[in-house]
Amino acid sequence: MDDLEKILSKLDTPCYILDLDSVRTNIQMIKDSISYPNFQIHYAIFCNDNAQLLQLLKSNGIGILVLNENELKTALRFGFLKEEIHLTGGTFTRRRLDQLLSFGIDLNLDSLAQLELAGHLAKGSKVGIRIRLSGETKGSGEGISLLEIEKAKNISDRYGLKIIGIHTYIGTNILDEQKYLESAITLTTIASEFPGLRYLNIGGGFGIPYSDKDKSFNWVYFGRELTKLFEKIHGNNSHYIQLKIEPGRSIVGNAGYFITKVIELRDGYTLVVDAPYTNFARPFVYHINNRVNCIGKNRREKIFKIRGCTINSNDYLSSPEFEGDVAVLPKDIQVGDILCFRDVGAYSPVMQMDFLHNNVAPTILIREGKLVE
């Protein structure tokens, strides 16, 4: 961290930092954890779509998860092959779904109505379906319920559709490996109802610790147990069924930093910085703190609020009123000191807003311990 702080202290603020070496380490950790031979990682492109990041992912054999036709075109532009692209979107209009089906990529449909529409548009086509296992987990999203599987099979038979894959998504920033293993058990059980199934996708949402109190996701345990489950799928002796996962945050989250400079000390416990909430929107939107430290002054002595530089009364980048770890910083912090927010590689850079017409904070890359020119 000392070497990184030397680099950060020399940069213009505000800006994001993305450490590509950490990204590469995360990729290898996930790859090493799962020994099932027919396995594909699809990185969630909406998590962070930095161009050099995408190039790094492609060079490491990582596929791409996209949500719509615009992200699909981005993936194709960066050279990802159609078989490396996986699409799970929301509810598409007739025109949009027709266009997506024409690309010939793996596409998961998340409702009976969307499945029927696909049947109208492209009889005899191959599609995947998204299954909603439970609505109890935060962010678990949409999908066809377990009670609707027979209806889905009837629709596919009516239009000659071939269901080649099943996808699910259990929630966001999940740190409990067992929740994923339970969903995988359900998916591997359902697999027997769909002859000729080509893939099972257990989704994304794999978490990282944002607080000192959080545990880390145990990829070694998870990968070992998940591999065992897939090895036991009935009729899958040749590993025909591909295992897919969709990590985003767990690949880039802890590789990102956001730095901003203190420009005013206010009322004894508020630090005003040169970044607006439109640059670093996650705390503003979700009222969740990221861990933060003062570069060159790592003492933890006093709780501060960290306020952005706009006139918006709710412009806070960290607050004791938010969830997560409060900002505990040196009591002698001064104007000109640089604050570094950790674990911001996922979502924060792409959540920047044009509202109030502030400048966008650039992303600076680090590779092999040096700034990428």
pLDDT tens digits for 316-371?
999 999 999 999 999 999 999 999 999 999 999 999 999 989 999 999 999 998 89
The answer to whether the bond into 320 is cis (omega within 30° of 0) is no
Please provide residue 118's backbone torsions phi and psi, each rounded to the nearest 5 degrees. Answer: -60, -35
Looking at residue 1, its pLDDT comes to 58
> Residue ranges per domain, the chain?
2-15+253-371, 81-247
Count CB-CB contacts under 10 A for residue 350: 14
- Measuring CA to CA, which residue among 164, 251, 166, 152 is closest to residue 201? 166
Tokens of 273: 């910085």
Query: What does the pLDDT average to over 58-73?
Result: 97
Pick the CATH number of 2-15+253-371 from 1.10.510.10, 3.30.70.100, 2.40.37.10, 3.30.1390.10: 2.40.37.10
pLDDT bracket for residue 135 (50, 70, 90): low
Read off the DSSP letter of residue 361: P
Tokens of 339: 């604050």
Looking at residue 6, its pLDDT comes to 78
Interatomic CA distance for residues 296 and 175, integer angstroms: 31
Query: What does the pLDDT average to over 239-264?
Result: 96
Looking at residue 140, its pLDDT comes to 47
Tokens of 193: 């109802």
- Give per-residue burial for 238-263: e unless 16+ CB within 10 Å, then b: eeebbbbbbbbbbbbbbbbbbbbbbe
pLDDT bracket for residue 139 (50, 70, 90): very low
Tokens of 282: 């996650």
In this predicted model, which residue has the larger pLDDT, 240 or 61?
61
Tell me how far CA of residue 184 lies from CA of 1, 85, 171, 351, in angstroms: 37, 21, 14, 31
pLDDT tens digits for 341-352?
999 999 999 999
Report the Cα–Cα distance between both ends of the chain, in Å, rounded: 21
CATH domain 81-247 topology: TIM Barrel (3.20.20)
pLDDT bracket for residue 14 (50, 70, 90): very high
Half-sphere exposure of 124 (CA within 13 A, CB side): 0
- Per DSSP, the three-state class of 145 is strand
Query: What does the pLDDT average to over 42-63?
Result: 97
Please provide residue 293's backbone torsions phi and psi, each rounded to the nearest 5 degrees. Answer: -140, 165
pTM: 0.93
Interatomic CA distance for residues 137 and 230, integer angstroms: 24
Residue 149 near residue 186 (C-beta atoms within 8 A): no
In the block, tokens 């027997």 appear at 192
Residue 349 near residue 2 (C-beta atoms within 8 A): no
pLDDT at 168 over 70: yes
User: Does the fold of domain 81-247 match that of domain 2-15+253-371?
Assistant: no
Find residue 171's DSSP bridge partners. none
pLDDT tens digits for 113-131?
999 999 999 999 999 999 9
Query: What does the pLDDT average to over 53-58?
Result: 98
Query: What does the pLDDT average to over 224-228?
Result: 96
pLDDT bracket for residue 141 (50, 70, 90): low
pLDDT at 195 over 90: no
Please provide residue 163's backbone torsions phi and psi, each rounded to the nearest 5 degrees. Answer: -80, 110
Average pLDDT, the chain: 94
Please provide residue 220's backbone torsions phi and psi, each rounded to the nearest 5 degrees. Answer: -65, -50
Fill in the amino acid letter for 88.
T
Q: Following DSSP, what letter does each residue of 37-101 receive, concatenated?
A: SSEEEEEEGGG---HHHHHHHHHTT-EEEESSHHHHHHHHHTT--GGGEEEE-S---HHHHHHHH
